[in-house]
Amino acid sequence: MRHRTFWILVSLAAIAVAGACNSRSDVPPVSIVPEGGGAAANAVGATGTSTVSGSITIEGEPPAPETIRMNSDPVCVKEATNTETEYYVVGDGGGLGNVFVYVKEGLSGSYPASGETVVLDQQGCRYTPHIFGVQVGQTVQITNSDPTLHNIHATPAVNPEFNTGQPIQGMSMERTFDQVEVALDGSPMVPFKCDVHGWMNAYVGVLDHPYFVTTGPDGGFDIGNLPAGNYVIAAWHEMLGEQTQNVTVGDGATANVSFTFTVG
Three-state SS sequence of 100-131: EEEEEECCCCCCCCCCCCEEEEEECCEEECCE
Q: What is the pLDDT of residues 124-183, one digit of tens each?
A: 999 999 999 999 999 999 999 999 999 999 999 999 999 999 999 999 999 999 999 997
3-class DSSP state of 92: helix
Q: What are the tens digits of pLDDT across the range 190-215?
A: 999 999 999 999 999 999 999 999 99
Strand segments (E) across the chain: 50-59, 89-90, 96-97, 100-105, 118-123, 126-128, 131-135, 140-144, 150-154, 162-166, 172-175, 190-193, 201-207, 212-214, 220-226, 229-237, 241-249, 254-262
Up-side HSE of residue 257: CA atoms within 13 Å toward CB?
24
- Topology (CATH) of 2-262: Immunoglobulin-like (2.60.40)
What separation in angstroms does the CA of 248 have from each of 65, 159, 169, 231, 253?
A: 37, 32, 48, 6, 10
Q: The pTM is what?
A: 0.83
Residue 162 pairs in a beta bridge with 154
Residue 6 reports pLDDT greater than 70: no
Could you tell me the end-to-end alpha-carbon distance of the chain, in angstroms, rounded to an integer?
A: 35
